[in-house]
C-alpha cells in the first residue's frame, strides 16, 4: 500500500537592520601650498567608518557650494570643464573601495598642477550601493535609480604656479627711462611673461625628452629686442643698462642668461670645423670681440625678491651689431633676447626716438594749437646743423583752406655735441579726420652735408568734442613705466629713497601738505 506525502508549511520571519553608515575624514582641511607647474606634492588624509556596516565609497574633488563661498550655479559646460581640470590636477591612490565597519583607511592625495591656478575646493566622500553582477544586470533593465549619498567632505587648498619674473626697472646714466623702457620692449615682455606656457615653450623646457635640434626648439619661441641705441665711436666705455628683475610668482625662480658660445665644445687642434656661414661668422666675430656682455649670467630669486641684471654694449667698431641670446627661467618662460646696438662715425648724427609720431587725438575748434615737443639729439662729436623742409606742411595747410593744421616753431637750428633739444610741433585740426605729413630733415656739420637724412613723420587725428560716442581713446605713449628712483652708480643702485612714490592726496588751494622721506646710502662701505 503506497504511503501518502504530507507537506508542512512554515512561516519564517527574517529580521535585518539597515544602516547608511557614518563617515568622517580627518583632517578637516588640507593645504598643499604653492607647487610649481609640472611638479607634485602628496598629502595624506584618513577616512573613518564609524558605523556597524561595510560601506562602498568613492572620493572626488568638487567645487564649493554657495554656502561655502562657491559659485551659485554652474552651467553644464562649466561643470564639464571644471571636472576635467580637477581630474587632471588631483589624483588619489585609492579613489574608490570598501571600508569595513569600525575601521579606517589612509588615502594619499597627489596635487600635480598642469596650469597656473588657485584651487579652493572640497574633497567629497560619496557612499554608493555595492551590488553583485547578477543584481546589476537585472536592475540595469529597469528604471532603478542608484542611491548616491554624500557622506563627508573636507576643504582642499592648492595653488599651481610657475616661476614668474617681471622687469621692474631699466636704467642708464645717459638715457631717459621712458626711452629705454620702449627700446627694451619692457611692457610687451612683462605681459608675455604672465601668459601660460605654450606648447613650444613646454617642449623647450623638456628638451632632454626630444630629438629636436636647437634650431627647431627655438624656432617658435617668443623673441624680444633689447636695443642699446646708437653710440659714437669716441665713447671708450661701454653703454651699461641696468635692469631690475623681481620674482612676482609664488615659487622659487632660477634664471640663466645664455650666450651662443656658453655650451660650445672646444675642438682639438687637428679637427676641421668647416667653413662657417656668414651669419655664424658674424656671430663669432661679436663673441670674440666681446661686443655684448651680461652680468651676472644666472641667479635665484625667492618669491618677492629682486636683483639687478647688467647688460653691456662696447662701441669698438663702426658697425651695426646684433646677437641672439636666451633668457631661460627654470620651469618657466624661455625667451629669445636679441641684443642690438650701432656704433657711429665721429661726425654729427641726429637721433629721433620714433620713425612715426602719432600725436594724441585732438578736438576741433580749439582757440590755440596744441604743442608737442619731439626730442632730437646730436650723437656726434661735432656741431650739427639741421633744416626741416616744410614744403609738404605748407601744401597740407593750403589744401585745408589755408588753416594752420600743422606748424613747426623751430624748423632750423644747431645742436652741440651730445646736445638734446626739441622740435616744437603745433597741431590744430580743422575737421574730424586723420592728418598726415612727412617732412625731410637736412643735416650738415663742419665737413658738409651728412649722408644720414631723416624724415619727420607726423600723424594727427581730429575729433568733434560733442560727439561723445565717437571720441577716440587716447593711447598712452609709455605703458607701465617704473616708479622713480634716485641714482644708478657704476655698481648698480647705490642710493634709494624710503618711498618709491609720494602721494600728497587731495588738497585745497594754498593748503600745505608735508611728507617725510629718507635717502639711504646702499653702498656696503
Q: What is the per-residue pLDDT across 224-235, written as a single tens digit (0 to 9) for each?
A: 999 998 888 865
Distance, in Å, from the CA atom of 326 to the CA atom of 337, rounded to the nearest integer, reads 6
85 HSE (CA, 13 A, CB side) = 15
| Dist CA 155 CA 67 (whole Å) | 13
Binned at pLDDT 50, 70 and 90, residue 296 comes out as very high
Given this model, what pLDDT does residue 265 score?
Answer: 42
Q: How far is CA 85 from CA 40, 82, 125, in A?
A: 15, 5, 19
And the C-alpha cell for 273?
Answer: 670645423
pLDDT band at 18 (very low <50, low <70, confident <90, very high): low
Give me the pLDDT at residue 116, please.
79
Reported as a single tens digit per residue, the pLDDT across 69-81 is: 777 677 888 888 8
368-384 tens-digit pLDDT: 999 999 999 998 888 99
What is the C-alpha separation between 366 and 189, in angstroms, rounded?
Answer: 39
Poorest-pLDDT segment among 154-158, 172-176, 265-269? 265-269
Average pLDDT, the chain: 83
Q: What is the pTM of this model?
A: 0.70
pLDDT mean over 192-201: 85
Judge if 165-261+279-344 and 350-470 fold alike in CATH terms.
Answer: yes
- Strands of 239-247's sheet, edge to edge? 165-171, 239-247, 306-313, 292-295
Strand partners, 19: none
DSSP state of 175: S
C-alpha torsion sign, points 75, 79, 81, 85: positive
pLDDT tens profile 398-447? 999 999 999 999 999 999 988 889 999 999 999 999 999 999 999 999 88
- 350-470: which CATH topology? Immunoglobulin-like (2.60.40)
Task: Work out the pLDDT band at 270, boundaries 50, 70, 90.
Answer: very low
H-only helix segments in 341-453: 391-399
Cell 656704433, located at residue: 343
CA angle, residues 274, 280, 284, in degrees to nearest 5: 100
Q: How many residues does the chain have?
A: 525
Q: Looking at residue 273, what is its pLDDT? A: 57
8 A C-beta contact, residue 233 and residue 342: no
Domain 165-261+279-344 has CATH 2.60.40.10: yes
Phi/psi region, residue 20 (left: phi>0; alpha: psi -120 to 50; beta: rest), is: alpha
Phi, psi (deg, nearest 5) at residue 189: -65, -45
In this structure, the number of other CB atoms found within 10 A of the CB of residue 419 comes to 13
What pLDDT is attached to residue 5?
67
Instruction: Give the model's pLDDT for residue 205.
Output: 76
Rounded distance, CA 521 to CA 489, Å? 11
Enumerate the β-bridge partners of residue 148.
128
pLDDT at 52: 82
Q: How far apart, in Å, are the Cα atoms of 138 and each of 131, 143, 145?
A: 11, 11, 13
How many angstroms separate the CA atoms of 384 and 450, rounded? 9
Check residue 412 and give its pLDDT.
95
Strand bridging mode 362-363 / 454-463: parallel
In angstroms, the Cα distances linking 54 to 15, 48, 152 are: 18, 11, 16
Domain ranges of the chain: 23-161, 165-261+279-344, 350-470, 483-525
- Report yes or no: 109 and 90 within 8 Å, Cβ to Cβ: yes
pLDDT at 146: 54
The residue ranking higher by pLDDT, 429 or 11, is 429
User: Would you say the C-alpha torsion 386, 391, 394, 399 has a positive or negative sign?
Assistant: negative
Q: Give bridge partners of residue 122 from the DSSP assignment.
A: 62, 155
Reply yes or no on domain 23-161 having CATH 2.40.50.140: no
- Cβ atoms of 371 and 426 closer than 8 Å: yes
pLDDT mean over 311-326: 92
Buried b (16+ CB within 10 A) or exposed e, 421-453: bebebebbbeebeebebebebebebeeeebebe
Q: In the predicted model, what is the mean pLDDT of residues 32-48?
A: 88
- Check residue 340 and give its pLDDT: 95
Amino acid at each position: 500500500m503506497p504511503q501518502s506525502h504530507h507537506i508542512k508549511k512554515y512561516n519564517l520571519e527574517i529580521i535585518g537592520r539597515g544602516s547608511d553608515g557614518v563617515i568622517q575624514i580627518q583632517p578637516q582641511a588640507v593645504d598643499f601650498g604653492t607647487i610649481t607647474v609640472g611638479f607634485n606634492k602628496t598629502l595624506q588624509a584618513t577616512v573613518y567608518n564609524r558605523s556597524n556596516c561595510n560601506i562602498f565609497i568613492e572620493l572626488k574633488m568638487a567645487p564649493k557650494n554657495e554656502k561655502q563661498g562657491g559659485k551659485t550655479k554652474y552651467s553644464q559646460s562649466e561643470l564639464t570643464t571644471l571636472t576635467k581640470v580637477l581630474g587632471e590636477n588631483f589624483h588619489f591612490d585609492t579613489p574608490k573601495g570598501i571600508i569595513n565597519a569600525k575601521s579606517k583607511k589612509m588615502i594619499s592625495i597627489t596635487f600635480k598642477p598642469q596650469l597656473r591656478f588657485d584651487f579652493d575646493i572640497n574633497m567629497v566622500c560619496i557612499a554608493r550601493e555595492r551590488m553583485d553582477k547578477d543584481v546589476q544586470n537585472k536592475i540595469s533593465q529597469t528604471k532603478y535609480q542608484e542611491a548616491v549619498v554624500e557622506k563627508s567632505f573636507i576643504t582642499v587648498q592648492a595653488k599651481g604656479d610657475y616661476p614668474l619674473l617681471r622687469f621692474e626697472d631699466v636704467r642708464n646714466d645717459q638715457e631717459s627711462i621712458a626711452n629705454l623702457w620702449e627700446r627694451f620692449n619692457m611692457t610687451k615682455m612683462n605681459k608675455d611673461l604672465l601668459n601660460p606656457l605654450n606648447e613650444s615653450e613646454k617642449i623647450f623646457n623638456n628638451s632632454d625628452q626630444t630629438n629636436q635640434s636647437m634650431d627647431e626648439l627655438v624656432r617658435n619661441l617668443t623673441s624680444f629686442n633689447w636695443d642699446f641705441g646708437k653710440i659714437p665711436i669716441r665713447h671708450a666705455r661701454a653703454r651699461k643698462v641696468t635692469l631690475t628683475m623681481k620674482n612676482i610668482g609664488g615659487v622659487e625662480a632660477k634664471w640663466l642668461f645664455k650666450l651662443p658660445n656658453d655650451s660650445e665644445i672646444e675642438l682639438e687642434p687637428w679637427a676641421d670645423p668647416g667653413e662657417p656661414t656668414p651669419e655664424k661668422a658674424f656671430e663669432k666675430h661679436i663673441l670674440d670681440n666681446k661686443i655684448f656682455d651680461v652680468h651676472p649670467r644666472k641667479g635665484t630669486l625667492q618669491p618677492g625678491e629682486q636683483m639687478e641684471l647688467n647688460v653691456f654694449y662696447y662701441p669698438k667698431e663702426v658697425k651695426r651689431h646684433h646677437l641672439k641670446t636666451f633668457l631661460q627661467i627654470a620651469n618657466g618662460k624661455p625667451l629669445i633676447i636679441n641684443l642690438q646696438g650701432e656704433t657711429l662715425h665721429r661726425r654729427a648724427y641726429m637721433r629721433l626716438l620714433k620713425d612715426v609720431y602719432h600725436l594724441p587725438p585732438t578736438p576741433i575748434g580749439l582757440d590755440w594749437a596744441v604743442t608737442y615737443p619731439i626730442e632730437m639729439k646730436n650723437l656726434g662729436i661735432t656741431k650739427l646743423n639741421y633744416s626741416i623742409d616744410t614744403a609738404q606742411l605748407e601744401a597740407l595747410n593750403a589744401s585745408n583752406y589755408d588753416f594752420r593744421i600743422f606748424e613747426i616753431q623751430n624748423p632750423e637750428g644747431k645742436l652741440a655735441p651730445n646736445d638734446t633739444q626739441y622740435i616744437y610741433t603745433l597741431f590744430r585740426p580743422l575737421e574730424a579726420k586723420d592728418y598726415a605729413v612727412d617732412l625731410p630733415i637736412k643735416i650738415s656739420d663742419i665737413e658738409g652735408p651728412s649722408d644720414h637724412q631723416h624724415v619727420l613723420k607726423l600723424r594727427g587725428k581730429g575729433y568733434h568734442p560733442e560727439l561723445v560716442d565717437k571720441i577716440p581713446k587716447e593711447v598712452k605713449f609709455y605703458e607701465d613705466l617704473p616708479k622713480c628712483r634716485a641714482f644708478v652708480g657704476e655698481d648698480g643702485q647705490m642710493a634709494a629713497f624710503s618711498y618709491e612714490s609720494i602721494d600728497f592726496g587731495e588738497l585745497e588751494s594754498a593748503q600745505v601738505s608735508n611728507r617725510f622721506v629718507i635717502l639711504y646710502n646702499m653702498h656696503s662701505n
